[in-house]
């Protein structure tokens, strides 16, 4: 911008009682696409921050780092690299968040750093302003890459806020609703009646009250009698083996079309599932509505949706009974809380998705604990803890993703209650993005996994 233009812009801003960052009243002629140059931002870092000089805290973000964390495939073959975000401040308070995005780790890491200019130098206590800066200020709102990057940063900001306030985040959100902890469920599989009965006994012995299973087959847009019968029979077998007292959900993983989903949902009504998850692909809400209207089976969805806006149509149209935002994609604590509040107003329950690492999982517990419409928390783990649990202990000093008596205990430390050992992180160096697993139909066509 030339000097004369700059002075004219500042004069116009002054006449409006404006602050740097505000649009000019009469922009001078532009010679480009007009996307940005009307904004006066030259000396204001992060953009818009100067307006808050009298009302901000003394805390400032001094650095933001992102860590890719790859586990040995012998520990968890399909597991994604995890993406952790650390924010440092001028007063030594640090915050951790998680931006893990399955199949797009490098993109999420790059996007976190793309947002650096909005965060470095900012007041981390202004979490809503920073959330909106990242979401609205990115112009292209939403999408899983931006959503995951915002999620990691937002969680870290909440971690700092809680530490500064000297309380766990769930207390800042008005909780806990139940101080005993947050009900959870593990993933499970059982392909025979005997295996299901054995799983029942093991699950009950562990005090766990709910499990989640997958469908047996990939599915096409219309399906054969044989495949539909196999899907229904599988769930009937699970109910018989698990008994009437153990809750179980089934993740359809968006494999069926709405047409096929409607048929299956109708037939599994007597099984009284905890919920049926992602019963068809998530993009078209009206199509999903078509699938669910013939069944009383509770319907859950939402793990692939971003920001509270992503859920508005599902809620307004009354399509679902349970929402499943993922705190590592939806927009962190801020967005998960907003979705939860919006869902509550429509009598919809929350069962947040969590297939990331321990930071996101624990961050989710904080929002769960403050939500009166909370139902159950997913954690990617099994009744048998497995090797991955050792990694979480290595990184965090405790088995972060384990239930006791069917509940995840609430963190008692301030902030999110997590502290990552950076020395331990070096034992799991980032080894590049691992693509999401693919699946194909019998004829070679791409299938929803």
Partner 1 sequence: MTTRSRKLRGGGSIVFAPPAAENHPLKVTQFRAWRVREPVSNRRYTVVRLQSQGGIVGHGEGGPAPAAEIVAARAAVMDRRATESEYIRAALRGAPALEAAVSNAMLDLVSRAKNVPIYRYLGGPVRFKARLLGHLEGATPAESAPSLERAKGHGIQAFTTAAPARDAMIPLRAYVDLVRQQYADMQRLAGASAEWVLDAAGAMTPGDAASVAVALERSHPIWFDEPTLVTTQDALAKIVDESTMPIGLGRHITDMAAFQSLLAGGSVNIVRPDLGLNSLTKIKRVAAVAETHYVGIAPFHNGGPIGSMAGIHLNASILFAYAQQIPVPASDRDAAMRVEIASGLKESGDKGFFALLNRPGLGFEVNERGLDAWSEERI
Task: Lay out the site mask for partner 1 across 371-400 (x = CB under 8 A, - = otherwise).
Answer: xx--x-------------------------
Q: Which of 234, 253, 329, 366 is catalytic?
A: 253
Please identify, among the stretches 61-69, 114-122, 318-326, 419-427, the one whose residues bind partner 1 according to the rule CB under 8 A: 318-326
Is 408 exposed, middle or buried, given 0-12, 13-18 or 19+ CB atoms closer than 10 A?
Answer: buried
The yes or no reply on residue 54 touching partner 1 (CB under 8 A) is yes
Work out how close the CB of 58 gets to partner 1 at its nearest, in angstroms, rounded to a whole number: 10
| Residues 143-202 contacting partner 1, CB under 8 A | 161, 165-167, 171-180
Which helix (DSSP H) or strand (DSSP E) does residue 266 occupy?
helix 258-267
Please identify, among the stretches 90-98, 106-114, 121-129, 391-399, the one whose residues bind partner 1 according to the rule CB under 8 A: 121-129
Among 82, 213, 248, 311, interactor with partner 1 by CB under 8 A: 311
Alpha helices (runs of H) in 16-143, residue ranges in sequence order: 105-114, 116-119, 127-137
Determine the Cα–Cα distance for residues 328 and 200; give it in Å rounded to an integer. 31
Cα 296–chain centre separation = 27
Determine the Cα–Cα distance for residues 18 and 92; give it in Å rounded to an integer. 34
Please indicate whether residue 329 is annotated as part of the active site.
Answer: no
Q: Which of 234, 329, 353, 366 is catalytic?
A: 353
Determine the Cα–Cα distance for residues 3 and 28; give it in Å rounded to an integer. 13
Q: Nearer to partner 1 by C-beta: 174 or 432?
A: 174
Among 10, 39, 51, 237, interactor with partner 1 by CB under 8 A: 51
The yes or no reply on residue 287 touching partner 1 (CB under 8 A) is no
Long-range contact set of residues 162-165: C-beta below 8 Å, sequence gap at least 24: 162/414, 162/415, 162/416, 163/93, 163/95, 163/414, 163/415, 164/57, 164/59, 164/93, 164/125, 165/414
The yes or no reply on residue 128 touching partner 1 (CB under 8 A) is yes
Work out how close the CB of 226 gets to partner 1 at its nearest, in angstroms, rounded to a whole number: 29
Total residues contacting partner 1 (rule CB under 8 A)?
A: 59
Please identify, among the stretches 35-43, 48-56, 201-209, 256-264, the one whose residues bind partner 1 according to the rule CB under 8 A: 48-56
Determine the Cα–Cα distance for residues 3 and 23; give it in Å rounded to an integer. 18
Alpha helices (runs of H) in 268-405, residue ranges in sequence order: 285-292, 312-316, 332-344, 358-369, 388-396
- Contact, 250 vs 210, CB < 8 A? no
The yes or no reply on residue 312 touching partner 1 (CB under 8 A) is yes
Determine the Cα–Cα distance for residues 28 and 38; give it in Å rounded to an integer. 8
Q: Note the maximum CA span of the chain.
A: 82
Work out how close the CB of 102 gets to partner 1 at its nearest, in angstroms, rounded to a whole number: 25
Provide the binding-site residues for partner 1, judged by CB under 8 A.
Answer: 17, 19, 51-52, 54-57, 125-129, 132, 161, 165-167, 171-180, 289, 292-293, 296, 298, 308-309, 311-312, 315-319, 321-322, 334, 337-338, 341-342, 344-349, 370-372, 375
Tell me which residues are annotated as active site: 253, 353
């Amino acid at each position: 911008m030339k000097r004369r233009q700059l002075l004219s812009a500042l004069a116009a801003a002054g006449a409006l009682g404006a602050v740097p960052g505000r649009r000019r009243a009469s922009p001078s002629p532009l010679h480009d696409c007009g996307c940005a140059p009307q904004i006066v931002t030259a000396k204001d870092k992060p953009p818009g921050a100067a307006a808050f000089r009298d009302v901000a805290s003394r805390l400032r973000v001094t650095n933001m780092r992102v860590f890719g964390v790859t586990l040995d495939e012998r520990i968890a073959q399909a597991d994604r690299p995890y993406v952790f975000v650390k924010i440092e401040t001028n007063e030594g308070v640090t915050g951790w968040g998680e931006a893990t995005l399955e199949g797009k780790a490098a993109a999420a890491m790059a996007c976190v750093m793309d947002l650096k200019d909005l965060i470095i130098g900012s007041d981390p206590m202004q979490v809503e302003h920073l959330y909106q800066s990242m979401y609205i200020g990115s112009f292209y709102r939403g999408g899983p890459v931006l959503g995951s990057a915002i999620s990691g940063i937002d969680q870290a900001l909440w971690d700092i806020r809680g530490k500064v306030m000297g309380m766990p985040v769930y207390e800042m959100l008005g909780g806990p609703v139940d101080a005993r902890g947050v009900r959870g469920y593990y993933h499970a599989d059982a392909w025979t009646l005997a295996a299901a009965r054995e799983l029942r006994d093991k699950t009950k012995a562990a005090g766990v009250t709910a499990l989640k299973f997958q469908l047996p087959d990939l599915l096409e847009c219309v399906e054969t009698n044989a495949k539909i019968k196999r899907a229904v029979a599988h769930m009937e077998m699970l109910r018989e083996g698990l008994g009437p007292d153990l809750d179980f959900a089934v993740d359809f993983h968006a494999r069926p079309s709405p047409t096929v989903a409607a048929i299956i949902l109708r037939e599994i009504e007597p099984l009284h599932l905890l919920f049926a998850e992602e019963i068809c692909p998530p993009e078209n809400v009206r199509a999903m509505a078509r699938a669910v209207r013939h069944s009383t089976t509770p319907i859950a969805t939402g793990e692939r949706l971003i920001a509270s806006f992503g859920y508005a149509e599902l809620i307004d149209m009354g399509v679902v009974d349970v929402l499943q935002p993922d705190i590592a994609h939806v927009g962190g604590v801020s967005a998960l809380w907003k979705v939860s509040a919006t869902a509550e107003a429509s009598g919809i329950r929350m069962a947040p998705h969590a297939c990331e690492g321990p930071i996101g999982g624990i961050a989710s517990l904080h929002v769960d604990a403050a939500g009166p419409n909370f139902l159950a928390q997913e954690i990617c783990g099994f009744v048998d803890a497995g090797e991955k649990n050792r990694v979480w202990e290595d990184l965090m000093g405790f088995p972060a993703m384990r239930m006791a008596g069917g509940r995840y205990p609430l963190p008692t430390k301030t902030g999110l209650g997590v502290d990552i050992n950076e020395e331990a992180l070096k034992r799991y160096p980032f080894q590049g993005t691992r693509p999401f697993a693919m699946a194909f139909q019998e004829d070679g066509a791409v299938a929803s996994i």
